[in-house]
């Protein structure tokens, strides 16, 4: 019989978000009842409603690319890899709002049929202007036109009215007609992965990925085009120092810290630092080897099909160590603070 958990959700997380996007692996194990006198408080990174130390167990769910604050909670989840945070009460979030089973490919995937349904070459769907991403767009565009319906490098009308469903369903419908999707993260940091990669995978549009340097720990990089396999970036000691010093922490994004001049200066310096890190890491970068691989697959249907037949996951199975269930079980089966 499922165990009942007395819990409160706050600071950007409500019960619907928690049950649909965060606690999905626990449906058979626990019943979550909201309470004003909870045994557990699950809080997000959005706002100032941070629970103080009290007669409850605080769980920080830091689902942004920030350094989690382990002093603000007893248990935590976040984006950085476990070895960066180095705390046994922390676990990295691999899947947020996504069941990894949707990325398991059918054994006999009809890659030939999928290719025949591809009517377009490549897309670039982004709102935010990121210099290294836009530079790759410019270099690849010398080969063929890339469709860009977003604000970044825009060259076509918006797709919002062309498809049905929510924003993510409309996006995947758009991607599905393209052989390739440029899936470049806005920042390169160990552990930082987003839906940019997963949406392209679900649409069976070969991702051209650049982001998490440890992406091969989760996915089979033979199933897509991984920038790091073709282009060598600058990972000097200076670049690594900039990465470490400019990574934002929880306080950097708290609204209560936005007004103080010292905090504004610190945030500004970190923003400049991240920009410099990406500039030096990708400065004067020649994407030619990566582009050559895209052209090779674009011109050779057999090679494209062979790549599409590869499972997204190594052995076509989500890695067990990416599951958060054991960490959650440890939390909710621990003795609540009273």
Cβ 264 vs Cβ 258: under 8 Å: yes
d(CA 329, CA 77): 13
Helix, coil or strand: residue 239? helix
pLDDT of residue 166: 86
pLDDT of residue 239: 96
Specify if 70 maps to a domain. yes
Specify if 71 maps to a domain. yes
Query: What pLDDT, in 10s, does the model give residues 98-148?
Result: 999 999 999 999 999 999 999 999 999 999 999 999 999 999 999 999 999
pLDDT of residue 309: 98
- Do 14 and 110 share a domain, yes or no? no
Specify if 41 maps to a domain. yes
Specify if 298 maps to a domain. yes
d(CA 301, CA 305): 6
pTM over 0.75: yes
CATH number of the domain bearing residue 192: 3.40.50.11660
Specify if 48 maps to a domain. yes
**Of residues 58, 26, 27, the one with CA closest to residue 43:** 58
Q: Which residues of the chain have pLDDT under 50?
A: none
- Do 176 and 309 share a domain, yes or no? yes
**Of residues 224, 219, 214, 278, the one with CA closest to residue 246:** 278
pLDDT of residue 87: 98
- Do 161 and 256 share a domain, yes or no? no
Q: Which strand (E) or helix (H) includes residue 254?
A: none
- Do 121 and 246 share a domain, yes or no? no
> How many structural domains does the chain have?
3
- Do 213 and 249 share a domain, yes or no? no
- Do 71 and 114 share a domain, yes or no? no
pLDDT of residue 262: 86
CATH number of the domain bearing residue 85: 3.40.50.11650
- Please, what is the Cα angle at 310 between 166 and 167, to 5 degrees? 5
d(CA 64, CA 77): 10
Domain span at 42: 3-94+321-333
pLDDT of residue 164: 81
- Do 118 and 208 share a domain, yes or no? yes
d(CA 62, CA 44): 6
- Do 301 and 172 share a domain, yes or no? yes
- Do 302 and 274 share a domain, yes or no? no
pLDDT of residue 338: 56
Specify if 120 maps to a domain. yes
- Do 155 and 299 share a domain, yes or no? yes
Contacts 24+ apart (CB under 8 A), 36-40: 36/8, 37/6, 38/6, 38/7, 38/8, 39/5, 39/6, 39/7, 39/336, 39/337, 40/5, 40/6, 40/7, 40/8, 40/331, 40/332, 40/336
What DSSP letter does each residue of 43-100 carry, written as one string? E-SSSS-PPPS-SSEEEEEE-SSSB--GGG-SEEEESS-HHHH--TTEEE---SS--G
- Do 243 and 192 share a domain, yes or no? no
Specify if 338 maps to a domain. no
- Do 229 and 242 share a domain, yes or no? no
Query: What pLDDT, in 10s, does the model give residues 6-19?
Result: 999 999 999 999 99
Specify if 18 maps to a domain. yes
């Amino acid at each position: 019989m499922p165990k009942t958990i007395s819990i409160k959700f706050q600071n950007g997380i409500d019960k619907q978000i928690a049950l649909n996007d965060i606690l999905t692996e626990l449906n058979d194990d626990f019943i979550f009842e909201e309470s004003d006198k909870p045994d557990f408080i699950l809080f997000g990174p959005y706002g100032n409603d941070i629970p103080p130390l009290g007669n409850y167990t605080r769980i920080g769910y830091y689902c942004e690319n920030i350094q989690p604050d382990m002093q603000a909670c007893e248990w935590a989840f976040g984006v950085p890899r476990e070895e960066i945070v180095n705390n046994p009460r922390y676990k990295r979030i691999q899947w947020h709002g996504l069941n990894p089973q949707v990325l398991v490919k059918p054994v006999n995937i009809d890659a030939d049929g999928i290719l025949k349904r591809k009517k377009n070459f490549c897309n670039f769907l982004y709102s935010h202007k990121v210099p290294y991403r836009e530079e790759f767009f410019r270099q690849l565009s010398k080969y063929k036109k890339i469709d860009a319906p977003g604000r970044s490098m825009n060259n076509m009308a918006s797709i919002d009215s062309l498809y049905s469903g929510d924003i993510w369903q409309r996006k995947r419908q758009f991607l599905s007609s393209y052989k390739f999707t440029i899936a470049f993260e806005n920042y390169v940091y160990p552990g930082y992965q987003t839906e940019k990669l997963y949406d392209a995978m679900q649409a069976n549009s070969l991702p051209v990925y650049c982001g998490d340097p440890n992406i091969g720990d989760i996915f089979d990089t033979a199933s897509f085009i991984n920038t790091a396999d073709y282009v060598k970036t600058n990972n000097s000691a200076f670049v690594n120092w900039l990465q470490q010093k400019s990574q934002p922490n929880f306080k950097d994004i708290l609204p209560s810290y936005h007004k103080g001049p010292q905090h504004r200066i610190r945030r500004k310096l970190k923003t400049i630092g991240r920009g410099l890190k990406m500039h030096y890491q990708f400065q004067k970068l020649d994407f030619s080897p990566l582009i050559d691989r895209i052209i090779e697959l674009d011109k050779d249907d057999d090679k494209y099909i062979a790549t599409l037949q590869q499972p997204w996951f190594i052995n076509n199975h989500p890695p067990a160590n990416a599951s958060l269930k054991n960490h959650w079980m440890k939390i909710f089966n621990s003795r609540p603070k009273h």
